[in-house]
Structure formats: structure tokens, C-alpha cells
Amino acid sequence: MKHFFAAVLFALIISLVSCEGDQDVHYRFTSMDVENVKNTNTFPSPTSDTSIAANQYGIRINLHPEETYRKGRYFDAYESPVTCENAITSILVTADSSFGNNYPAGDSLNDHFILFNGNYLHTTPLLATGGQPTAVDRDDYATHNFPEYTELLLVVPPDTARSFRFRVDIILKDGTHWTDSTAHVFLH
């Protein structure tokens, strides 16, 4: 019995020491807006260009996160994942013009975009339910723990060159629904 208590005490000490005071961090999104991006450099960047090559086009979703809770001694980027209290459950991308015969104005264009969270190795398809933005794959994750923005990169161009205004609808876990539209852009 003496060895049992010693083993339990040893296991308890090891578990307490192994956590080393990692922070528990929570945040929530407070609003969102969208803008056009051009993907010609190392990373996509916002642009006011009114004409962009379709293979360089994307949409930036600015998410405006706010920290709600932080407890612990320090943030460990490898062992301290952050928790979004009102995670995105749905993203829908539509356009005000037909994207082709099978995609009239107002139809979902999610299968034409990929979700880019700051690293080309970790892009994901923008499925019917959208995707979850994260800051984990960004180079500055240790100091900027929350996804301040994410990009949707166009991977399937429209059938013909024309002007578009893209609308992005986001639904959060708590039922909040946000909508915003990009400026008109001519994709060629």
C-alpha cells in the first residue's frame, strides 16, 4: 500500500510539472468585413485594383477577434491551443453575376475557393459548411494567437471574364450571422 501511495504521488507531481503553467486562452469574434486580395507575392495582400487576373484573386475575411480569457504563466505555441468561444460553423460565398452555366448569380461558389490560413501547405477546400480560420499556421502565432483574418483563394475561375461583387455570409456557433460584400472587381 505504501508503494501505491508513492506511485500516485509521483504521478501527480509529474503531471503538475509537465503542464509547466501553459496558458489557457479563449477568444471570440466581434465582427467581420471582407475585401479583395491579390495573390501575386509571397502572401495574398489586400488591393483596391478593379481588375485582377482570376488566378490571382482572393477574398480576405477580417475577423476582429477579442481575447476573453487567459490563465497560466506563459503561452506555448506547441502545447497551448487557443479556444474560440463563437467558432464559425458556416461560410458561404456567392456572386452577383453568373460564374458560368452551372453557377447562376447567387449560387454557392464554395467549391471554387480554398481556405488559406497563412500557409500554402495547410490550405483546405471551402466546403459547403465553410472552414475554421486559425492562426496556428502563421509565423507569428506565438505572439498573435487569434486569427485576425483568413483568405479565400479562387482556384476555379469563372467561364468568362466579367465584373463580380462577392458576398460572404458567416454563421457562428452562437447563431450570429454576418454578411459583407467585396468591392466590384473585373476578373480576367
CATH number at residue 34: 2.60.40
User: Is the model more confident about 91 or about 1?
Assistant: 91
Does the pLDDT at position 165 exceed 90?
yes
Residue 10 lies in a domain: no
What's the CA gap between 113 and 130, in Å, rounded? 10
Q: Is residue 7 part of a domain?
A: no
Q: Which amino acid is at 63?
A: L
Kindly state whether residue 155 falls inside one of the protein's structural domains. Answer: yes
Residue 2 lies in a domain: no
- Name the pLDDT band for 124 (thresholds 50, 70, 90): confident
The residues facing 168 across adjacent strands are 93, 180
Q: Is residue 109 part of a domain?
A: yes
Q: Please report whether residue 35 resides in a domain.
A: yes
Please, which pLDDT band fits residue 46 given cuts at 50, 70 and 90?
Answer: very high
Residue 6 maps to a domain: no
Tally the domains of the chain: 1
Q: How many CA atoms lie within 13 A of 73 on its CB side?
A: 5
Measured distance CA(151)–CA(118) in Å, rounded: 8
Q: Is residue 16 part of a domain?
A: no
| C-alpha grid cell, residue 24 | 489557457
Range of the domain at 50: 21-187
